[in-house]
Amino acid sequence: MAPGSSSKLLREKIVCMYENLLNGDDVNSQLHFWDEFFVLKPKQGYFLKYLKSIKDDEILLRKAALQNGVQQAIERLDLGNNSELSFFNALLTLSMLVEDLTNRQPVLDPVDILFGELTPSCEHRLNRMFGFLKHAVQTTTNQSLLMLTFRFLIRLVVVKKDINENPFVACMMVQSFFEDFMGVISDPVKRNLVGQETVALLGILPHFSTSEPEANPYMQLSVMDPSIELMGIAAVIGQSFRDTSKTFFQQVIALQKDSTWVSWLTKTVTRSARPTLSVDLKDTSLLALCTGLKIGRNFVHAFTHAQSEILVNAPPPTPTPDGDNSSITSEPAIVTPKDTAVVEPSNLFVEFLQYASIVMQHIKDEKPSEHARMSLIILSVITEDHYTTQFMHDFSINYRVQFFRSASRYHPCQILKSAKPEPLACAVLNLISEFIMSHMMLNFPHDLYFRCLLIVYRLMDYQKRTRFRLPYQWRTLWGSLLALLKFLESNESYLMEQMSNFFLLCTQVVNILNIFLIGGDAILSQVGSYDDLCYEIVRNSSMVSSASAMGLRYSSVQSASMQATAKRFLSALTNLRSVVQHFTPKIDAFSLEFQKVTMEREEILNIIRTNYDNLSLKLVDMTECFEKNSNGSKDKPFLTSFVANTILDLRQVYAVSDSVDVFTIGDDSLVQNL
């Protein structure tokens, strides 16, 4: 016999056994059929291909044979009475059967075909299977078994697009894996191995609806104290974001190396196609982060303190030296290839902001747009929390945050980084300002802009209440807000067709500026900052006049609701008009006196500094302008859709057909493990 022919015969034997099983032959009459079936080396590719060749109506005719095979596979999941090899092959067989039925169009019900109708005997088989899986998660030290077990659990969870229609998930409410997942997360070795899978499950399972919230064991996240488990979850999520950001930033740096200003300008003028940047979107990490923050306030502690695995031994965040709290931040600097080699201190918050800066610049595509909205929902949740907002303004906890700036007619795509370590509130404001400036387009994402303005308002409200002076380059924010107001005013007729609350958005923009005009003494850290604000408003005096005229036009229309919102906008605009009307005559008089057609910035600032007398401003009530969506009711439809889309993505990510190499137990290393 030629060398290797023996192993070839064994491989061919499993193929024959696959055909016997799937053709509905009486395999129980064959002596030792099942004992051999679950110890022979599997051929996933052949099994999946053969399954796919069977038509739906034929699958229904072979239910009895399939259920017999499933019952035999479940018995091999008992690690107390079976070898690890039998467990592995049985679980792999179940995974392939469930995957095939899930991928069919229309989807065939895996529970009905593989386990039978939902009778007590079917529920008993399901509970028995989940009991064996729980035992494996708790006790196995074999990495291959642990990985396949978690991937099989995910495969069961994603059987139905609507999680509430999934009987497997209903069983996981009875056979709770929550404590087992926490045990995996608290173990560094297991966390590195199946941390992403665990986080994916913890992100999805709390969304299963039960008669009482307490009936969902995965809602225990809401009552967990800050602990090693929560920090472990946060570390896994942070590492996921970091991997995406690092890969994406490397693409940007590579483009910078291959590009020059001449080549960029040539492409801009000739409208040549620019190189595309790919983003590895992290559905499960975003979902788990949002779920953790929404249902568990203690998760905020982990969100602000947990470090991604690679940065556990990194240097701590940089404290601000005493007496330097008022030192204003510099404009963000452009990151060069040399800068990327520097490892900066980080935490989950920093990694999330860097990830958000990427997805928020790719909203023209549907999926990145969903991630941008989810990122803004997360920022809304954390700015609603007093502890997190206080953390963002802590002078003793400073980070240098990188964020992505997409290409425009003025510059190529860039990575920007804080010029020096600064409070995280500065990074949030940079992120929002960049988004505002880069998405003023006719296909206007007004829902995202409302989110952005709400986040800014909450930060400003905190600073006003606590009289906190953030050392920030406020001109960046003011410039973006005034540019947004100008865009809204210039495109009013078109935008009003898109959005019914056009004037509400305008009012929110103006009211954020009003916070600075009325309470600037409590917020601004530099004396000259208030002068800069007045200068920016005066510089945009024609826009303020046009916006006022726009409000007047709509304040007399027939629609009562339009009248009311337009009048509220006019009322909010009063202070900006007062600034323009107060300083413009004085600037014009100076220009006439010294016969200056154009004036320098410093000359105008000097006029503003010396003419504050008699400038009258009025208090503005902003409480009704910014909605408080504390219960998140408006987010529920979107979150439900996001969960469903995440489930569809997980079907592809954890497909057995895409993991053949990972789970080919014929490899020597895995054979030794098993």
Q: What is the pLDDT of residue 312?
A: 43
Mean of pLDDT over the chain: 85
Nearest-angstrom CA–CA distance, 444 and 481 = 15
Using a CB cutoff of 8 Å and minimum separation of 24, what contacts does 666-670 make?
A: 666/41, 670/144
Closest CA to 14 of 513, 673, 665, 535: 665
Mean pLDDT calculated for residue range 274-300: 84
Residue 17 pLDDT > 70: yes
> Has residue 353 got a pLDDT over 90?
yes
> With 70 as the cut, is the pLDDT of residue 632 above it?
no
Contact by Cβ (8 Å): 457, 508: yes
User: SS3 for 35-86, per residue?
Assistant: HHHCCCCCCHHHHHHHHHHCCHHHHHHCHHHHHHHHHHHHHCCCCCCCCHHH
pLDDT attached to residue 314: 44
The per-type count for the chain, helices as H runs and strands as E runs, is: 31, 3
Place of tokens 């039925």: 101
DSSP 311: G
Is a pLDDT exceeding 50 seen at residue 23? yes
**Interior CA angle at 156 toward 639 and 218, to 5°?**
55
As a whole number, mean pLDDT of residues 205-216 equals: 88
* Count of alpha carbons within 13 angstroms of residue 508, beta-carbon side: 23
Q: Tell me, what DSSP letter sits at residue 212? A: S
Radius of gyration of the chain from Cα atoms? Answer: 30
**In this structure, are residues 139 and 654 in contact, taking their beta carbons and an 8 Å threshold?**
no
Question: What gap in Å lies between CA 66 and CA 55, rounded to an integer?
Answer: 14
Contact 88, 674 (CB under 8 A): yes
Please work out, in degrees rounded to the nearest 5, the angle formed at the alpha carbon of residue 172 by the alpha carbons of 378 and 86: 120
Angle at 124 between CA 121 and CA 130, to 5 degrees: 150
Contact between 152 and 133 under an 8 Å Cβ cutoff? The reply is yes
Tell me, what's the pLDDT at 343? 62
How would residue 5 be classed by pLDDT, with cut points 50, 70 and 90? very low
d(Cα 34, Cα 37) in Å, to the nearest integer?
5
Helix 188-204 to helix 636-653 angle, to the nearest 10 degrees? 130
Lowest mean pLDDT among 7-21, 313-327, 341-355, 626-640: 313-327
Contact assessment for residue 577 and residue 518, using Cβ atoms and an 8 Å cutoff? no
How far, in Å, CA of 195 to CA of 213, rounded?
25
Whether pTM exceeds 0.75:
yes
Give the pLDDT band of residue 669 (cuts 50, 70, 90): very low
Determine what percent of the chain is predicted with pLDDT higher than 90: 54
- Looking at residue 276, its pLDDT comes to 72
- Over residues 456-513, the pLDDT tens digits come to 999 999 999 999 999 999 999 999 999 999 999 999 999 998 888 999 999 999 999 9
185 touches 191 (CB < 8 A): yes
Q: Contact 522/504 with Cβ under 8 angstroms?
A: no
**Quick one: pLDDT band at residue 215, thresholds 50, 70, 90?**
confident
Least Cα distance to 411 among 274, 254, 244, 246 occurs for 274
Average pLDDT estimate for 130-156: 95
Q: How far apart are CA 110 and CA 343, in angstroms?
A: 48
State the angle between helix axes of 424-438 and 446-466 in degrees (0 to 180), rounded to the nearest 10. Answer: 150
More confident of the two residues 423 and 342: 423
CA distance 514 to 468: 17
Pairing relation of β-strands 402-405 and 414-417?
Answer: antiparallel
- pLDDT band for position 88 (50/70/90)? very high
Question: What span, in angstroms and rounded, lies between the C-alpha atoms of 64 and 59?
Answer: 10
> What residues are paired with 416 via a beta bridge?
334, 403
- Res 593: pLDDT: 85
Identify the band that residue 296 occupies on the pLDDT scale cut at 50, 70 and 90. confident
Q: Packing angle between helix 228-258 and helix 178-186, nearest 10 degrees?
A: 60
